[in-house]
Amino acid sequence: MSKRKSQSTEETQHKRQRSSQPEEDDDEDSGFPLTSQLESQSQSQSVPSVSGTGNVGIVETITLKNFMCHANLGPFTFGPNVNFVVGNNGSGKSAVLTAMIVALGGTAQTTSRGSSLKNFVKEGESSAEVSITIRNRGNDAFKPQVYGESIIVDLRISADGTRTYKLRSKTGQMISSKKDELISILDYFNIQVDNPVSILTQEMSKHFLHSKGELDKYRFFMKATQLEQMNEDYDYIVRTQSLTKNTVNQHEEILEDLKKTLKEKEERYKGLSSLEEMNKKLDELKNQMAWALVNEMEKEIRPMGDRVEAEEKLTPKYNQKIDEWKAKVEEAERKYRQHHEQLEQVTERLQTLQPQGAQLRSDAQERNAAIKTAEASYHKLKTNQRDLEKDKEQLTKRIAELELSISQASAADSQVREARISELQLEMQELAHRDDTLAQQVEQFQQASATAKDNLDKMRREEQDLTRSVSSKEQSIRQLEASRTNRLRRFGEHMPALLSAIDEAYSKGMFKRRPLGPVGHYIHLKDPSLALAVESCLKSLVTAFCCDNHKDERLLQTLATRLMRENRPQLIVSTFSDKLYNISQRGVNHPNYPSVLQALEIDDPNVANCLIDMRGIETILLIKNVQEARKVMQWSAPPRNCREAFTATGDQVFHNRYYSNVSQRRTSCLSGDVEEEISQLRAAVTSQQENLSRLRQNKQTLETEIRQNNALHKTTYDELTRVKNQCRRLQLEIGELQNVEEPQSDDLVPLEADLEEIREKLAESVQQCGEAKEKLAQLRSAAAEAEQKYRQHREQISSVAEEAEPIREELNKCDSEVEKCKHHRKHYEEKRKAHINNVQTLKNNLQQKEKELKESIAKAVVICPERVEVRRTAKSLDTEINRLRVSIDTQQEQQGDREAIIRQYQEALQKYNATLKEVKHLKKFSEGIGEIIQQRQRAYAKMRTFYSLRCKYYFDMTLAQRGYVGHMNFDHKNKTLSIAVQPGGKTKASLSDMRSLSGGERSFSTVCFVLSLWSITESPFRALDEFDVYMDMVNRRISMDMFLKVASSQRFRQFIFLTPQSMSSLPVSNLIRILRLNDPDRNQTILPFGQRNHAD
């Protein structure tokens, strides 16, 4: 993760902050002077441009002069993808990597080769120079109009350790010499030379390989992902915020003291006025006070007049709203009537179609039976025809044979063969009859099986319907049984819990008035036989709640939503008056039939008022008999104030229309006799269970018949196959006898007579078969037509039944919409009434205030005849008058030094304002920092978890390529990272620590860990120094394949590998470039900073 130095609190993706660190002396590459130049052996002298390679941030060339122990190295030209820098120890590989780190802003400590940059200057030279060319192409280039397609970074390190930069364009023009410009370039390209995942030196790799502590591994992970630097920055910000808060607290204490001092100085300063001026000021204040009171009263009157005018303008809007809701009520009632008529039409169609279905089903069954009879007759005639044809064929063949060989055989042999043939033919005839019979049986079994399967499917559908009906009734029984002890359960399973929540909230004072409900709980029927009529009339109002105000409604809505996921009750807002409406002028009164209001005993008058408002129960009659209802409502004018009527079966009767109750056959909430209803439901359940039991027995019997029929069909089919085989065998034997036979001379006349008789019978049989076949075809066509009519009729019934469901749902929705619109209309009528009363109250208050204003003006004229302009309030004037009087009294007693008092007051005011401004700024800064750090810390924790999971995944995936099994365990709380690896593909149960592995296995595991870290970090290039030094040949080859695979999949990124191996086994590819260094001169002198720890 990269950061940058910036005044802003925001960070961008390509910027990073670089902290300065002390530079230490290097301890490597000593004592090896350069004796020869680099030999560049690439797979091709000029690597062609490959589509998809990196365009920005990769290293194109690097040149070293007087760097470490080398007088001149380079220029080295790197390829855009994979580069291998190979050579023996001391040839300058690590010097190239060290120069790259230092030239790109890294410190000597980052290279792990010294503590100061001056140690990188070759002994005897005054300075060292490094030049690096960075690619800068494409749409993501950094200032392409300034630098062009390449950026050249020239570094000069003097002998005293100072370094200077020169940034040049591709043409060599110097652009800048500031390190800040280099930092901007590195941040833009996301180059992180101090990140071990981007550039892994020998010392860092060796430290990780030999590290035995889990803390060290965790620090390596944190440093690689730059989470460590981020955490340190956040800790510093938190400490700074704490210091800022302490400073604010100290300044606030000081501010209180300064405020007291300023007040004292101000009092003394204001007391410098002369007594005459103060008295004059006092008189002016008194005049202003008189007219200030007048002004304040005028200011009070002005908004009151404006408010009266504004409120009067709102009256037409209330009228408009009421008209709108009246129109919506009429529209909703029209839709309700329309859907009710549609439902009646669908019900009538369904009742008309059901008797026709039974007749069509009986007709189809009769036609199928006729088909079976006709088929049996047809098969019999067909069998007889086949027998005659066979007899004719045999007799014809016999006559021909006798005529041809009449003189060639003896009479005795002929008789024997004839007898044998006759026997075989008789047996053939019997088998033919048996074949026809078995074929008919097979066909009959198939038809019976198909019919039985159709009947079985019908039985299964009937069983499902009965099962659902029984379950529904059993659930209703459970609800009724639960309502024995708690009647509220009849209004819904969650209704007792809702009422308990209402009582609890009311006891806590959350409701202004306790909501009343469910409404059905407060009403009782005088005549239980009218329960269905009343429930059909009230519908969803039975479970509704009445609220006194909209605040109570919102609270009750919240409770209902929390406790009831569906079927939540309707909420009605109507101000509780605790007194029944006077309905003597608008209620219906009939000598024989009660209204809904008269048929009910209602416990609370507010509930009765709610039903009067929402449903108009005082205008609805209850007439048990349907004919009487039609007579009262439709044969003549309805009774006065009567809007509609309901029958005992729940039918709804208007003056010009009639709606049947098809959706509700029994009461669910208002039934008085629970035991009787439970008994009826249990009887219905028992009856349906008996029907279900009989149906299941019939289904089992039918399944048994199907199995038996299938078994008989198989047996008959096997027998038919055996008979056909035997027929073929006999036919072959007869053919052989006829071919061998040479009959004696016989009398041909009887045979010819028999042949003629057979021909006549055959012609008659063919005619009969044709007639039977035609009749069978007619019967099948008629049966198919009857079956088609029956299926179409069933589909029509199903379609009509399906049409009823959405209409019924729409009907319920329309009913709710009617009630809702009526509720809103009543709500706006009440608001208009309250609005008119409020306007009248405002007018009365305005008149009273105008009267008081006239009295106040009269008093002010007495004090000050001419009206003065006053901008201050009366309260502030009164306070100042009192203070001025005290000041006059005090100054009369004592006068002080005027100059000193003025100077002290100005100093105190200036100091107080400065301190107040600083405190406000610090508070705002501290609060902003607090919010930002909380957001950053949460994001930091998420990022750390994401990096950990991704690192684990890639570590396991890369180990699996070698057949290893591994595990990484991050403990962010204790800041530890444990890595366990098991070679050989064993299970994870046998995992062991990396310290128990061999050198090659540990190096390979390190490569896997580096690859997993590569997957969670971004950089345009990556460099590894002697990554395979501890590997055997197998692990080195596998690791190399893994690196090349990663590089091939990331052609936009550059890879630089430093190794002492020859790399001769690498595949030939235009993406791979090998830079081979000459062997070092072993006579060279050592570097001035001493013996190094590890030879290059």
CA 459 to chain centre: 42
Long-range Cβ contact pairs of 1039-1048 (< 8 A, separation 24 or more): 1039/1003, 1039/1004, 1039/1007, 1040/1066, 1042/958, 1042/961, 1042/1007, 1042/1008, 1042/1011, 1043/82, 1043/1007, 1043/1011, 1044/82, 1044/1072, 1046/1011, 1046/1014, 1047/81, 1047/82, 1047/1071, 1048/81
Q: Is the omega angle on the peptide bond into residue 1060 within 30 degrees of 0, that is, cis?
A: no
Contacts of 625 (CB under 8 A, 6+ apart): 647, 648
Q: List, in sequence order, every residue forming a beta bridge with 472; answer none if it has no partner.
A: none
Burial of 45 (0-12, 13-18, 19+ CB in 10 A): exposed
Tokens of 358: 């039974």
The DSSP 8-state label assigned to residue 549 in this structure reads S
pLDDT at position 722 is: 83
Distance (Å, whole) CA 611 – CA 616:
6
Whether 797 has a pLDDT exceeding 50, the answer reads: yes
pLDDT band of residue 20 (cuts 50, 70, 90) is very low
Q: Is the omega angle on the peptide bond into residue 355 within 30 degrees of 0, that is, cis?
A: no
Read off the pLDDT of residues 717-741 as tens digits, 9 standing for 90 and up.
Answer: 888 888 878 887 877 777 777 765 4
Read off the pLDDT of residues 846-903 as tens digits, 9 standing for 90 and up.
Answer: 888 888 888 888 877 887 777 777 777 777 878 877 887 787 777 655 555 666 767 7
Distance (Å, whole) CA 131 – CA 153:
6
Give the angle subtended at the CA of 768 by the CAs of 765 and 772, to the nearest 5°: 135
φ/ψ bin of 517: left (φ > 0), alpha (ψ from -120 to 50), beta (otherwise): left
pLDDT at position 3 is: 39
pLDDT at position 545 is: 94
Whether 11 has a pLDDT exceeding 50, the answer reads: no
CB atoms within 10 A of CB 414: 20
Beta carbons of 19 and 1068 less than 8 angstroms apart: no
pLDDT at position 260 is: 84
Helix H or strand E encompassing 1047:
helix 1033-1049
**More confident position, 568 or 1030:** 568
Whether 531 has a pLDDT exceeding 50, the answer reads: yes
Contacts of 468 (CB under 8 A, 6+ apart): none
Read off the pLDDT of residues 621-647 as tens digits, 9 standing for 90 and up.
Answer: 999 898 899 888 888 888 988 989 999
Beta carbons of 395 and 388 less than 8 angstroms apart: no
CA distances from 555 to 319, 328, 552 (A): 29, 27, 5
| 3 state DSSP class of 1082 | coil
Distance (Å, whole) CA 157 – CA 160:
8
Beta carbons of 371 and 744 less than 8 angstroms apart: no
Distance (Å, whole) CA 784 – CA 792:
12
pLDDT at position 1087 is: 45
CA 124 to chain centre: 71
Mean pLDDT, residues 477-493 taken together: 68
Whether 68 has a pLDDT exceeding 60, the answer reads: yes
Distance (Å, whole) CA 440 – CA 333:
66
| 3 state DSSP class of 393 | helix
- The mean pLDDT of the chain is 78
Distance (Å, whole) CA 331 – CA 817:
10
Asked which of 132-146, 551-565, 650-664, 931-945 is least confident by mean pLDDT, the reply is 650-664
pLDDT band of residue 991 (cuts 50, 70, 90) is low
**More confident position, 865 or 183:** 183
pLDDT at position 152 is: 93
Beta carbons of 6 and 42 less than 8 angstroms apart: no
pLDDT at position 604 is: 93
Distance (Å, whole) CA 741 – CA 402:
10
Sign of the torsion formed by the C-alpha atoms of 241, 247, 253 and 257: negative
Whether 89 has a pLDDT exceeding 90, the answer reads: no
Residue where the block lists tokens 């993760």: 1
Distance (Å, whole) CA 922 – CA 628:
87
Distance (Å, whole) CA 536 – CA 663:
10
Read off the pLDDT of residues 745-782 as tens digits, 9 standing for 90 and up.
Answer: 445 667 777 777 777 777 887 788 878 778 878 877 88
Contacts of 233 (CB under 8 A, 6+ apart): 3, 17
- φ, ψ of residue 199 in degrees (nearest 5): -130, 110
pLDDT at position 17 is: 39
CA 883 to chain centre: 68
Distance (Å, whole) CA 855 – CA 415:
159
pLDDT at position 529 is: 85
Whether 218 has a pLDDT exceeding 70, the answer reads: yes
CB atoms within 10 A of CB 892: 10
CB atoms within 10 A of CB 395: 18
Distance (Å, whole) CA 767 – CA 385:
10
Whether 985 has a pLDDT exceeding 50, the answer reads: yes
Q: List, in sequence order, every residue forming a beta bridge with 129; answer none if it has no partner.
A: 65, 156
Read off the pLDDT of residues 269-294 as tens digits, 9 standing for 90 and up.
Answer: 666 655 557 767 777 777 777 787 87
Helix H or strand E encompassing 62:
strand 56-67
Whether 35 has a pLDDT exceeding 60, the answer reads: no
What is the rounded radius of gyration, in angstroms, for the C-alpha atoms of the chain? 54
Tokens of 438: 């078995």
Distance (Å, whole) CA 334 – CA 329:
8
The DSSP 8-state label assigned to residue 974 in this structure reads T
Mean pLDDT, residues 313-333 taken together: 84
pLDDT band of residue 1030 (cuts 50, 70, 90) is low
Distance (Å, whole) CA 1080 – CA 659:
110
CA 25 to chain centre: 58
Distance (Å, whole) CA 204 – CA 1026:
11
| 3 state DSSP class of 1090 | coil
Give the angle subtended at the CA of 726 by the CAs of 725 and 731, to the nearest 5°: 100
pLDDT band of residue 131 (cuts 50, 70, 90) is very high
Asked which of 22-26, 408-412, 606-610, 1042-1046 is least confident by mean pLDDT, the reply is 22-26
Residue where the block lists tokens 């200077």: 164
Read off the pLDDT of residues 892-935 as tens digits, 9 standing for 90 and up.
Answer: 555 556 667 677 778 888 888 888 888 888 888 888 888 888 88
pTM above 0.85, yes or no: no
Distance (Å, whole) CA 490 – CA 466:
24
The DSSP 8-state label assigned to residue 48 in this structure reads P
- φ, ψ of residue 632 in degrees (nearest 5): -70, -40
What DSSP string describes 949-967? HHHHHHHHHHHHTTT-EEE
pLDDT at position 671 is: 66
pLDDT band of residue 301 (cuts 50, 70, 90) is confident
Contacts of 535 (CB under 8 A, 6+ apart): 542, 650, 664, 667, 668, 669, 670
